[in-house]
Amino acid sequence: MENTLVKTRAEEGRETDNPREDGHSIAFLLSDASKYPIAGDYEIPAKYNTDTIVILPVNEKKVYVYWELTEKLLMDKAHNPSESSFTVKIYELTLGGDEHYNEKEVYRTSVTGLLGQIYAECTDKFKPMAAAIGIEKDGVFNVLLKSDKINVPSYSVLGLKEEFWGRGYGSGADDAIETTKNVWLPHISPHISMNNIEMLLRLMGKKEYQSDDERAMLGLIKALFGPSGSHLLSLFLDFLRLLGLNADMDSIIKHLNELKGMAGSSGMSGSSEIPARQRS
* Positions 57 through 76 that interact with other proteins (CB under 8 A): 57-60, 62, 64, 66, 68
CB of 138 to other proteins, least distance (A): 32
Residue 137: strand pairing partners: 140
Whole-angstrom Cα distance, residue 109 to residue 150?
Answer: 19
Complex with other proteins: residue 146 or 167, whichever CB lies closer: 167
> Which lies closer to other proteins via its Cβ, residue 96 or residue 166?
166
Q: How far apart are CA 41 and CA 48, in angstroms?
A: 20
> What single-letter amino acid sits at 107?
Y
Residue choice 74, 129, 177, 240 for contact with other proteins (CB under 8 A):
177
Stretch that binds other proteins, among 106-114, 165-173, 208-216, 249-257 (CB under 8 A): 165-173
User: In this structure, which amino acid lies at residue 210?
Assistant: Q
Residue 251 in contact with other proteins, rule: CB under 8 A: no
State which of positions 86-125 bind other proteins (CB under 8 A). 117
Number of residues interacting with other proteins: please give it, by CB under 8 A. Answer: 81
Task: Verify binding: residue 191, other proteins, rule CB under 8 A.
Answer: yes
- Return d(Cα 95, Cα 100) in angstroms, integer: 6
From CA 120, how far away is CA 114, in angstroms rounded?
Answer: 18
Residues 26-45 interacting with other proteins (rule: CB under 8 A): 26-38, 41-45
Q: Choose between 131 and 228: whose C-beta lies nearer to other proteins.
A: 131
Residue 20 in contact with other proteins, rule: CB under 8 A: yes
Position among 201, 242, 256, 259 found at the interface with other proteins (CB under 8 A): 242
> Which C-beta is closer to other proteins: that of 125 or that of 254?
125
Cα gap 204→265, rounded to integer Å? 28
Q: Buried b / exposed e across 173-204, counting CB within 10 Å, b at 16+?
A: beebbebbeebbbebbeeeebbbebebbbbbb
Distance CA 125, CA 128 (A): 9
User: Residue 141 or residue 169: which is nearer to other proteins going by CB?
Assistant: 169
- The residue within the footprint of other proteins, chosen from 243, 249, 253, 263 (CB under 8 A), is 243
Q: What's the CA gap between 116 and 81, in Å, rounded?
A: 17
Q: Is the dihedral of CA 240, 241, 247, 253 positive or negative?
A: positive
Task: Kindly tell me which of 179 and 260 has the beta carbon lying closer to other proteins.
Answer: 179
Nearer to other proteins, 60 or 121 (CB): 60
| DSSP SS3 for 13 | coil
**With binding defined as CB under 8 A, does residue 131 bind other proteins?**
no
Interface with other proteins by CB under 8 A: which range of 13-21, 214-222, 227-235, 256-264?
13-21
182 binding other proteins? (CB under 8 A) = no
Dist CA 169 CA 242 (whole Å): 9
